[in-house]
Amino acid sequence: MALRNSQYDILIRAYNQKQLRNKHELNMRTQKVYAQIPRIEEINHEIASASVAQAKELLSGNEHALIALKNQIAELAEERTILLLRYGYPEDYLTLPCDCPDCHDTGYIGNEKCHCFRQATIDMLYTQSNLKEILREENFDTFSFDYYNNTDENPITGKTAYANMREIHTYCKQFVNRFGDSCENLLFYGGTGIGKTFLSHCIARELLEFSYSVIYLTAIQLFDLFSQYTFENEENDGNADEMLQFILDCDLLIIDDLGTELSNSFTNSKLFYCLNERFMRKKSVLVSTNLSLEKISQIYSERIFSRLSSNFTLLKFYGEDIRLKKKLQSKRP
Ligand SMILES: [Zn+2]
């Protein structure tokens, strides 16, 4: 995947800043430890000169001397660890801290781009920073069952909205926990304002934390991207192509509010293409919609309906409109 040069530069600059920040942090820690435990400063100097000696012996090929130096360095390092622990520091306090232990914040593992670079690219192309703000507010920790009625039973399921939501919530947590082991797709359906989008945010947040790549798009945004790709292909700078690859390839694609787009043969064929490609690549999809299953079967082609009903775990949401409830509550004196 080739980013535009300017975008690539911005990402690399961010990685460099991260490395600088971490080096600075390590410097601060080192000064603090040296002031408190002077022996550690001595140890570090001794390790440094032993390492220089080691490099010299490597050239001369003196095996005995090399082994002796190696042992000396190991002993010094052990003494340093013991001292750190004795003073209440973690064992790795004097190793360079990093956000991504896999690439040590370089963005690369060997010549390959690290998973964190991939997510950073997605963030950039989809301005997911916006989503990140939302995810700070809407996640499993902030999810509340208070808005769900626990007295009236649904005549069809025999369950209250509260009990139903408990089950869905548990299911979604399991979905996150087994993500990566199996490829599973979810369809959230039911009326407006009863937690479908909120719960898809919970899942997105959790998977992003585990370094999975997640793309969240409303159906309208998704089809907009497809039409840009189709109609502006000649003039675009390659970004639409990349976006399309991400849409087909990311670990989880969330399509929110399916059914709010203007449905026609174009959206139908693109939706089928998108679902089908992702199934073949064994990548998960989460679709949420206000439409009933019956409506879905009327609006979308037979083959889309059959994909949705057979390849997805169907989770039906019901209850009262939470957004409305919240609004009414906030208006009370
Ligand atoms: Zn990384």
Q: Is residue 301 part of a domain?
A: yes
pTM over 0.85: no
- Domain end point (choices 82, 112, 142): 112
Residues 174 and 200 in one domain: yes
Residues 93 and 161 in one domain: no
Residue 96 Cα to ligand 1 midpoint, Å, equals 15
Sign of CA dihedral 108, 109, 111, 116: negative
What is the rounded distance in angstroms from the CA atom of residue 80 to the CA atom of residue 329? 59
Residues 275 and 311 in one domain: yes
Q: Is residue 243 part of a domain?
A: yes
CATH code where residue 143 lies: 3.40.50.300
Q: Judge whether 219 and 260 are in contact, CB under 8 Å.
A: yes
Residue 206 Cα to ligand 1 midpoint, Å, equals 18
Which pLDDT belongs to residue 231?
A: 58
Which pLDDT belongs to residue 213?
A: 81
Q: Is residue 121 part of a domain?
A: no
Residue 279 Cα to ligand 1 midpoint, Å, equals 27
Residues 275 and 174 in one domain: yes
Q: Which residues, by Cβ under 5 Å, contact ligand 1, an ion?
A: 100, 102-103, 114, 116
Three-state secondary-structure class, residue 34: helix
Residue 239 Cα to ligand 1 midpoint, Å, equals 23
Residues 264 and 236 in one domain: yes
Output the tens digit of pLDDT for each of the chain's 333 residues: 345 666 677 788 889 999 999 999 999 999 999 999 999 999 999 999 999 998 888 888 788 888 999 999 999 999 999 999 999 999 999 998 888 889 989 999 998 888 888 778 777 766 555 677 788 888 888 888 888 888 888 888 889 999 999 999 999 999 999 998 889 999 999 988 889 999 999 999 888 877 788 888 899 989 988 887 765 555 555 556 667 877 888 889 999 999 998 889 999 999 999 999 999 999 999 999 999 999 999 999 999 999 999 999 999 998 888 777 777 766 655
The residues, any chain, with a CB within 8 Å of residue 47's CB and separated by 6 or more, are 73, 76, 77, 80
What is the rounded distance in angstroms from the CA atom of residue 87 to the CA atom of residue 230? 63
Residue 275 Cα to ligand 1 midpoint, Å, equals 29
What backbone torsions phi and psi does residue 256 show, to the nearest 5 degrees? Answer: -95, 145
What backbone torsions phi and psi does residue 80 show, to the nearest 5 degrees? Answer: -65, -45
Which pLDDT belongs to residue 232?
A: 54
Residue 68 Cα to ligand 1 midpoint, Å, equals 36
Q: Which of 304, 243, 242, 315 is nearest to 279 (CA)?
A: 304
Number of structural domains, the chain?
Answer: 2
Q: Is residue 119 part of a domain?
A: no
Residue 119 Cα to ligand 1 midpoint, Å, equals 9
Residues 169 and 268 in one domain: yes
Residues 290 and 240 in one domain: yes
What is the rounded distance in angstroms from the CA atom of residue 43 to the CA atom of residue 34? 10
Question: Which residue, chain included where needed, has tokens 């990685």?
Answer: 15
| Conformational region of residue 114, where left means phi above 0, alpha means psi within -120 to 50, and beta covers everything else | beta
The residues, any chain, with a CB within 8 Å of residue 268's CB and separated by 6 or more, are 300, 301, 304
Q: Tokens representing 293?
A: 């299953």
The DSSP H or E segment spanning 67 is: helix 63-86
Q: Tokens representing 110?
A: 């060997």
What is the rounded distance in angstroms from the CA atom of residue 172 to the CA atom of residue 127? 25
Query: Which residues constitute the domain of residue 287?
Result: 126-331
